[in-house]
Chain A
């Protein structure tokens, strides 16, 4: 009850302080806003990347062709071997007979030619269709399969997958570095803002000490001020994220480049992003003010 009463007073005071030192607070607020815009963007990107790597995972198939003289027994034993690999989710056999039928069904030209092939002299190969669990390790898995005796060709559209995965990883790394730098700068600015508030309220603080305010009572208003700066700083990034993403999603009809890359539907996704931005803003503000209080308010 007592804590609650004092909390109300603290929030009021902290708001007053933010507005009183507005020119100063505005620097921290703008910096945290920029940071949070980048954070929001990188969250949106990384969730989308996650989402479509999952889709790609469903669609990307490793196709393994075996040598011409592979027997039915070998076909089954190699299947078992590959199924035991760590990254393999499923493996399906497609015999040359099945391939032939499929191709004949697909085109008339094929049908005309293949009809003349005798049943026992099929030039096509037996093959496996393999799905992997982790798309980023698909290259390693393909190499492992390639080393198996009787395996002739392994094909998984490596160019496309590898380039995509590589690009996503690079984007992720760059945004992590940018976010880290921005957070450091923001914390530094908040520490300075709070430091100046502490100095401007030196008299008040010394009187508080004199009349027996507890250390917590003295510290909390400054920490709350940092949290409020963080919360105010998250307003613009939240608006930009919500409207920006919805507009982007509608502009591209929910997919990028091809139907393969599907965007995450805005609802409720974008509200979760908004909450994450707010929480991160408040935490960064709290962290900065906490540092300032520890450094400049020796109690």
Chain B
């Protein structure tokens, strides 16, 4: 079953730059997808359209039965509750502990206290940060901070976890660790994962579904793909 169905999507930014040309693709439930491509190839644009930060100029994006492209601004929060989003720069709140940062995602959608506690602890455990629950982000390594961000993204059991270069600020070892955490979530919980990345080693090692973009066009869509130098 397809979780995401993208049909003939074009994206032209206000300044006239076309970032995505006639993109069509499907992503299955439970899939782990790498989105690869050079700088400016449109990876972030595609990801932003998935969580409705940007709207396609034309075409359709159906995500879990929701027509994302047509979603009104006031209803975007409904989509966001079904997604987890992770960025290169972690986006944690420095004045909150690890626990509070993760719990924040549930608090602001009005979850019950007991529910917040059990879900938060479970998510922190899943990313392997149990020992750092009461620590502040500034006292953590980059890799650990990114794991907090992942815990926050999955705490509400989203169907889809979207990551835009989650390893972009990390050294190779930490990057591998982060991808392992994501792979673990994908296997244990069954969360569908889409990860934009530049990191060729990781892509080659993992042998996952690879979508390659070049200058806004889909150039490769392989079930068990690698980072292909000739194309990208």
Decide: A211 near B110, CB < 8 A? Known: A203-B91, A204-B93, A299-B73.
no
Contact with A along B123-156 (1 / 0, CB 8 A): 0000000000000000000000000000010001
Chain B residues with CB under 8 Å of A208's CB are: 108
Contact B156 A211 (CB under 8 A): yes
Q: Which A-chain residue is minimally distant from B93 (CB atoms)? A: A204
Tell yes or no: B80 within 8 A of A by CB.
yes
Chain A residues with CB under 8 Å of B198's CB are: none
Contact A212 B80 (CB under 8 A): yes
Decide: A211 near B74, CB < 8 A? Known: A5-B110, A204-B93, A206-B91.
no
* C-alpha gap A43/B107 in the complex (Å): 43
Chain B residues with CB under 8 Å of A5's CB are: 110, 112-113
Tell yes or no: A215 within 8 A of B by CB.
yes
The minimal Cβ–Cβ distance linking B183 to chain A, given in whole angstroms, is: 23
Contact B78 A9 (CB under 8 A): no
* C-alpha gap A134/B126 in the complex (Å): 79
Contact B91 A212 (CB under 8 A): no
Which residues of B in the span 83-105 have a Cβ within 8 Å of any Cβ on A?
83, 85, 91, 93, 104-105
Tell yes or no: A170 within 8 A of B by CB.
no
Q: Which A-chain residue is minimally distant from B85 (CB atoms)? A: A210
Contact B85 A9 (CB under 8 A): no
Chain B residues with CB under 8 Å of A215's CB are: 74, 77
Contact B108 A217 (CB under 8 A): yes
Chain B residues with CB under 8 Å of A217's CB are: 108-110
* C-alpha gap A213/B105 in the complex (Å): 8
Chain A residues with CB under 8 Å of B73's CB are: 299
Contact B78 A212 (CB under 8 A): yes
Chain A residues with CB under 8 Å of B29's CB are: none
Q: Which B-chain residue is minimally distant from A213 (CB atoms)? A: B108
Contact A2 B110 (CB under 8 A): yes
Contact B93 A211 (CB under 8 A): no
Q: Which A-chain residue is minimally distant from B113 (CB atoms)? A: A5
Interface residues on A, range: 10 to 19
Tell yes or no: A209 within 8 A of B by CB.
yes
Decide: A211 near B91, CB < 8 A? Known: A2-B110, A5-B110, A6-B110.
no
Tell yes or no: B81 within 8 A of A by CB.
yes
Tell yes or no: A214 within 8 A of B by CB.
yes
* C-alpha gap A208/B152 in the complex (Å): 11
Q: Which B-chain residue is minimally distant from A201 (CB atoms)? A: B93
* C-alpha gap A203/B152 in the complex (Å): 15
Contact with A along B108-120 (1 / 0, CB 8 A): 1110110000000
Contact B77 A213 (CB under 8 A): yes
Chain A residues with CB under 8 Å of B77's CB are: 209, 212-215
Decide: A211 near B78, CB < 8 A? Known: A6-B110, A204-B93.
no
Chain A residues with CB under 8 Å of B110's CB are: 2-3, 5-6, 217
Tell yes or no: A207 within 8 A of B by CB.
yes
Contact B91 A210 (CB under 8 A): yes
The minimal Cβ–Cβ distance linking B3 to chain A, given in whole angstroms, is: 17
Query: What residues make up the interface of B, taking CB atoms closer than 8 Å to A?
Result: 51, 73-74, 76-83, 85, 91, 93, 104-105, 107-110, 112-113, 152, 156
**Other 20 A-B pairs with CB < 8 A, given A212-B83, A213-B109, A214-B109:** A3-B110, A5-B113, A6-B110, A203-B93, A204-B93, A206-B91, A207-B104, A209-B76, A209-B77, A210-B85, A211-B81, A211-B152, A212-B78, A212-B79, A212-B108, A212-B156, A213-B77, A213-B108, A214-B77, A215-B74
26 A-B interface contacts by CB (under 8 A)? A2-B110, A3-B110, A5-B110, A5-B112, A5-B113, A204-B93, A207-B91, A207-B104, A207-B105, A209-B80, A210-B80, A211-B80, A211-B81, A212-B77, A212-B80, A212-B81, A212-B82, A212-B83, A212-B156, A213-B77, A213-B109, A214-B109, A215-B74, A215-B77, A217-B109, A299-B74
